Structure 1
Amino acid sequence: MAVITQFVVVREGVEKMTFTTKKEADAYDKMLDIADSLVPFLENSKIEMQEKSLEDMAYYLASNKDDLLSLLKGGTAIKSPVKKAEKKKAA
């Protein structure tokens, strides 16, 4: 019998994602924290969005924070191999 260690990210009593390393789970949890912080920021904009679209936008910005930071600094979007792999994995 094998022993498998799993790290589960839980938000408001709902299991969001399971990871095999603590580092991955912490990174995902931090990304969700960033998305949660972005929601009020986006709500203060003059752009009218439905709540679901607002949450989706916050999640997208948080999950692509490295590209967003580069763009805000006047650079170009960074396309890392990890993000491409994540997109393929999600599809």
Structure 2
Amino acid sequence: MAVITQFVVVREGVEKMTFTSKKEADAYDRMLDIADNLLPFIQASEATIDDTAAEKLAFYMAANKDTLASLLKGAPVKTDPVAKTPKKKVDDV
């Protein structure tokens, strides 16, 4: 019989994702923390964005935080940006 260790990311009592390594689970949890922190920032803008779109945008920005950080530092936009694909649908955040 095999023993499988799983790391589960849980938010507000809801299971978000399961990983086989602690490192991946911690990285996903940090990304969700970043998205949670970005949401009020996005909602405070003058742009008219509904809550669902704001959540998707926050999740996208968090998933691509390294590219976003470079852009905020003034780096040029890459012609073919490679977005990290989240392992879970954005709607499930």
TM-score range, shorter chain: 0.7 to 0.9
Aligned residues: 87
The residue number in structure 2 matching 1:72 is 72
Q: Which runs of 5+ in 1 are unaligned?
A: none
TM-score computed with the length of structure 2 as normaliser: 0.83
Once the two structures are superposed, the pairs formed by residues 4-83 of structure 1 within 5 Å of their partners are 4-76=4-76, 83=84
Q: Deviations over 1:30-77 (max 9, x none)?
A: 000000000110111000111000000000000000000011111145
Q: Which has the higher helix share?
A: 1
Distance verdict in 2 for CA 1:40–1:54, change over 3 Å = same
TM-score computed with the length of structure 1 as normaliser: 0.84
Farther-moved stretch of structure 1 (1-10 vs 67-76): 67-76
1:36 is paired with a residue of what secondary structure?
helix
Which amino acid is the alignment partner of residue 39 of structure 1?
L
Same amino acid, percent of matched pairs = 62
2:32 is paired with a residue of what secondary structure?
helix
| Structure 1 residue ranges, 4+ long, deviating more than 2 angstroms after superposition | 76-80
Instruction: Give the distance between the partners of 1:11 and 1:48, measured in 2 at CA.
Output: 27
The residue number in structure 1 matching 2:91 is none
Instruction: Give the distance between the partners of 1:60 and 1:74, measured in 2 at CA.
Output: 19
